[in-house]
């Protein structure tokens, strides 16, 4: 009986996940009377692919716990290793989502409105004409996810997203040198994942960088992250997922805080019927959000819908609209008259086009009665045209009077700015918040320096060998493969495709050649056979420390003692123990030991060892994403 009921509950959860977001409960047809439940048949076996689809639906319905259970079944029944890896990656998204439900914020929502994916960014309260169309000198490829680059007038530093050689979008930065812009540089390794990073936006104070990523710690689609500027390292710090409700299992991006400090905005397709539109959400800016745990999928769905507040005190329409010029009674009167003139001009133009269309139809009509009716209609329209023209002349004259009045008062009005302001598309005023549409900026013209080609020192066998650009050995311990000695300089053909090849000249004026730079003996040994197969039968491994040759046995001993290890220190929120969410994140990243110690009177948990700094910092990033503030990675000395 319990087994049957559990089966029914899981099936109902899968069906509930497929309901529209507005659905609050299962359809009545799913209700099973108590006396009939014992007769529910065993479920029909489903394929691993069907399990994956069901689990994805549950994850997108914010039922992460149920999704995990179904993902585990998909992994257990995986037909091959590729399917298993895919299922495990999706399962990790559900686990991440479950972890982040421990730290949900509940912002005050001022407004939201759906816009086309192609121009939603124009409705953000940013500087007018600051978005530049793609392609441009910074981003040569327009795609579905990104269609513009943010370059405000007078910018001295630009952060932007563009494709690398593998077609993946990364975030780059370039700085103005007055006459040119520096060669674009990848922002840093912490903000770069194996997937796309898009829509980077700098905070008004320049201390925070917001962006979206589909490759960092998240729950599916694009999540929103923030990285803080580190004044000590002069670099951007480890990115932190903003969590619920800013991030979701859907695509979330383009987060900004307005310069006036009143609002936060971001876009998401979480409620959209298709993939060609997004909602833009306007929230009250909250510098210190209160976070709480929320486990109910229904409440998580309600939270993520971000329904606007009905409290009018949260609405400040003036801050929502990007102003092109300061307003007072005179400028408002001038702008209203300018708008009337523009409207009349547009009406006359449209009126004339309609008459031209009617005349074209007359010339093609063969029935005389129908032709006469059309001719009468055109004559009637022509009679009405002078009325519109008189109205335009009157409005234009009134506009000139206002302009003359401005001149007598010494007020200077820029007609281009006024025209830009009155032509803006404004929507949403009925809700108490106006989304004002900015114009696209002009064609981006900038001279960008070409990046200097960087010599690749990784060991390779190429069609044509290459000598090292710099024969200086790096500091520390390195291994190389000795090739041969010669009384004269070797030629490229003698390298037999090896790269890089270093040349050293001895006191006896002989030249010795070495291939590669290897950090470990094992790495060097793996390449030795390639060198021998290339024709260097007597090739051997040699070692150097700070540029000086040392015995290989001594180098291997040093290698073992000099190995750099890393640890992660965690200060628990309650000062005593680690939460289940934190433990879950730790176990996702490592099977390393966890030690509980007391430092300066405080309880500290140490997770170690990590053989790579990147692995330790990755776990720190994930822990911060679930709301843990006091955590750091450090080298074990």
Residue 212's Cβ-count burial label (10 Å; 0-12, 13-18, 19+) is buried
Res 494: pLDDT:
95
Between 269 and 371, residue with greater pLDDT: 269
Structure tokens at 452: 């200097």
pLDDT for 404 beyond 80: no
Q: Which of 134, 130, 135 is closest to 150 using CA atoms?
A: 130
Q: What is the mean pLDDT of residues 277-302?
A: 90
Higher model confidence: residue 3 or residue 421? 421
| Residue 285 neighbours by CB under 8 Å, 6+ apart | 257, 258, 261, 262, 263, 264
The per-residue pLDDT for 330 is 66
Compute the distance between CA of residue 267 and CA of residue 255 in angstroms, rounded to an integer. Answer: 7
Residues 6+ apart with CB under 8 A from 62: 97, 248, 249, 297, 300, 301, 304
Q: Which string of b and e fits 61-73 if b means at least 16 CB within 10 Å?
A: bbbbebbbbbbbb
Please state the rounded mean pLDDT for residues 12-18: 44
When pLDDT is averaged across residues 267-281 and rounded to a whole number, the result is 91
pLDDT at 173: 95
Band (489; pLDDT cuts 50, 70, 90) = very high
Asked if 133 and 612 touch (Cβ cutoff 8 Å), the reply is no
Reply yes or no on whether the pLDDT at 267 is more than 60. Answer: yes
Least confident span in 207-216, 310-319, 610-619: 310-319
**Of 146, 151, 263, which is closest to residue 214 (Cα–Cα)?**
146
Q: Mean of the pLDDT values across residues 287-300? A: 88
Question: Packing angle between helix 368-408 and helix 329-364, nearest 10 degrees?
Answer: 160
The answer to whether 277 and 269 have CB atoms below 8 angstroms apart is yes
| Between residues 328 and 88, the one the model is more confident about | 88
* Separation CA 265–CA 587 (nearest Å): 34
pLDDT of residue 274: 81
What is the pLDDT at residue 119? 92
Q: pLDDT band for 604, please (50, 70, 90 cuts).
A: confident
Say yes or no to pLDDT of 40 above 60: no
Domain boundaries, the chain: 2-100, 105-320, 329-423, 460-560, 565-636
Binning pLDDT at 50, 70 and 90, where does residue 26 land? very low
> SS in 3 state form for 566-603?
EEEEECCCCCCCCCHHHHHHHHHHCCCEEEEEEECCEE
pLDDT at 322 over 50: no
Is the pLDDT at 42 greater than 80? The verdict is: no
pLDDT above 90 as % of the chain? 39
Q: Quick check: 616 and 610 in contact, CB under 8 A?
A: yes
Tokens, residue 169 = 């979008």
User: For the segment 199-242, what is each residue's pLDDT rounded down to a tens digit?
Assistant: 999 999 999 999 999 988 889 999 999 999 988 878 898 888 99
Q: Given pLDDT bands bounded at 50, 70 and 90, which one contains residue 598? A: confident
Residue 533 has pLDDT above 90, yes or no: yes
Confidence grade of residue 532 (pLDDT, cut at 50, 70, 90): very high
Q: Determine the average pLDDT of the residues in 472-497.
A: 93
- DSSP type of residue 191: G
| 5: confidence class by pLDDT, cuts 50, 70, 90 | very low
Which of residues 169 and 636 earns the better pLDDT score?
169
17-21, 189-193, 345-349, range with the lowest pLDDT: 17-21
pLDDT for 557 equals 87
Q: What is the pTM of this model?
A: 0.58
The mean predicted confidence, pLDDT, of the chain is: 82
Given a cut of 70, whether residue 411 has pLDDT beyond it is: no
Specify the CATH superfamily of domain 565-636: Sporulation related repeat (3.30.70.1070)
- Give the least confident one: 25-34, 80-89, 574-583, 606-615: 25-34
Instruction: State which of 185-189, 414-418, 481-485 shows the largest mean pLDDT.
Output: 481-485
- When comparing pLDDT for 70 and 561, which is higher? 70
User: Which range (395-404, 551-560, 602-611) has the least confidence?
Assistant: 395-404
- Answer with the residue of higher pLDDT: 578 or 440: 440
Q: H or E element: which one contains 115?
A: strand 109-116
Phi (first) and psi of residue 206, to 5 degrees: 75, 10
Q: Is the pLDDT of residue 268 over 70?
A: yes
């Amino acid at each position: 009986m319990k087994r049957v009921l559990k089966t029914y509950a899981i099936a109902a959860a899968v069906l509930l996940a497929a309901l529209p977001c507005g659905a609050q409960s299962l359809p009545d047809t799913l209700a099973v009377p108590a006396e009939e439940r014992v007769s529910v048949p065993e479920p029909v076996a489903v394929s691993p692919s069907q399990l994956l689809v069901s689990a994805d639906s549950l994850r997108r319905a914010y039922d992460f716990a149920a999704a995990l259970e179904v993902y585990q079944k998909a992994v257990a029944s995986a037909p091959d290793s590729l399917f298993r890896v895919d299922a495990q990656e999706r399962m990790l998204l559900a686990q991440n989502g479950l972890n982040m439900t421990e730290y949900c914020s509940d912002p005050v929502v001022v407004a939201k409105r759906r816009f086309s994916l192609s121009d939603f960014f124009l409705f953000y309260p940013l500087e007018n004409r600051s978005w530049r169309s793609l392609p441009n000198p910074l981003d040569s490829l327009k795609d579905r996810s990104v269609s513009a680059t943010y370059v405000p007038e007078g910018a001295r530093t630009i952060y932007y997203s563009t494709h690398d050689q593998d077609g993946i979008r990364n975030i780059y930065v370039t700085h103005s040198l007055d006459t040119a812009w520096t060669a674009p540089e990848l922002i840093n390794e912490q903000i770069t994942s194996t997937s796309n990073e898009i829509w980077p936006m700098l905070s008004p104070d320049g201390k925070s960088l917001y962006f979206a990523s589909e490759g960092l710690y998240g729950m599916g689609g694009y999540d929103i992250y923030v990285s803080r500027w580190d004044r000590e390292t002069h670099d951007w710090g480890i990115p932190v997922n903003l969590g619920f409700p800013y991030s979701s299992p859907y695509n979330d991006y383009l987060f900004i805080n307005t310069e006036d400090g009143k609002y936060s905005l971001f876009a998401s397709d979480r409620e959209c019927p298709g993939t060609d539109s997004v909602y833009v959400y306007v929230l009250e800016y909250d510098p210190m959000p209160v976070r709480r745990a929320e486990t109910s999928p229904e409440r998580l769905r309600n939270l993520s819908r971000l329904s606007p507040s009905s409290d009018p005190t949260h609405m400040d329409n003036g801050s929502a609209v990007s102003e092109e010029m300061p307003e007072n009674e005179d400028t408002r009167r001038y702008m209203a008259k300018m708008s009337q003139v523009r409207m009349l001009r547009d009406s006359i133009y449209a009126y004339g086009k309609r008459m031209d269309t009617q005349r074209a139809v007359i010339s093609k009509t063969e029935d005389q009665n129908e032709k006469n009716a059309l001719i009468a209609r055109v004559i009637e329209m022509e009679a009405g045209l002078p009325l519109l023209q008189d109205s335009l002349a009157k409005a234009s004259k009134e506009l000139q009077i206002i302009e003359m009045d401005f001149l007598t008062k010494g007020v200077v009005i820029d007609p281009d700015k006024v025209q830009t302001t009155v032509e803006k598309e404004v929507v949403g005023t009925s809700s108490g918040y106006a989304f004002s549409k900015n114009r696209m900026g002009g064609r981006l013209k900038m001279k960008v320096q070409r990046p200097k080609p960087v010599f690749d020192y990784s060991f390779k066998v190429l069609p044509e060998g290459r000598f090292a650009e710099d024969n200086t050995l790096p500091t520390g311990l390195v291994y190389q493969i000795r090739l041969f000695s010669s009384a004269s300089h070797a030629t490229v053909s003698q390298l037999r495709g090896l790269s890089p090849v270093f040349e050293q000249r001895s006191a006896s004026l002989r030249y010795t050649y070495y291939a590669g730079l290897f950090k470990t003996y094992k790495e060097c040994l793996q390449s030795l056979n390639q060198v021998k197969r290339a024709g260097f039968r007597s090739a051997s491994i040699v070692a150097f420390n700070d540029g000086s040759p040392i015995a290989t046995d001594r180098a291997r001993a040093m290698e073992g003692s000099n190995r750099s290890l890393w640890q992660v220190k965690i200060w628990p929120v309650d000062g005593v123990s680690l939460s289940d969410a934190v433990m879950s994140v730790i176990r996702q990243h490592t099977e390393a030991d966890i030690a509980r110690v007391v430092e300066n009177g405080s309880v500290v948990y140490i997770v170690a060892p990590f053989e790579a700094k990147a692995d330790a910092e990755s776990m720190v990033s994930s822990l911060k994403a679930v709301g843990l503030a006091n955590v750091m990675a450090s080298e074990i000395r």
